[in-house]
Amino acid sequence: MGKNVHVVKHGERWAVKEEGKKAPLSTHKSQELARQNAVPVAKKNESEVVIHSRDGKIRDKDSYGRDPYPPRDRRH
């Protein structure tokens, strides 16, 4: 599995950041736009998109890797 991709608050905007890197890959005016831009990166990395709330706590995750025992995700 590759590096996870995080959607985090970045000043007044939302950033897409790869795990372990300081600089964001991109910034967006909404969390949803940042999430949409994080998905292709996570698919390429075969990793997870980790979505953080405004206070920095993890509020959701979506996996795009090869999991031999995937959870039964009823949201998608």
pTM of the entire structure? Answer: 0.86
Helix, strand, or coil here: 14? strand
Length, in residues, of the chain: 76
The mean pLDDT of the chain is 90
Owner of token pair 């795009």: 64
pLDDT value, residue 2: 84
pLDDT value, residue 72: 65
pLDDT tens digits, residue range 22-49?
999 999 999 999 999 999 999 999 999 9
> How far is Cα 31 from Cα 72, in angstroms, rounded to an integer?
25
Residue ranges of the domains in the chain?
A: 5-55
pLDDT value, residue 24: 97
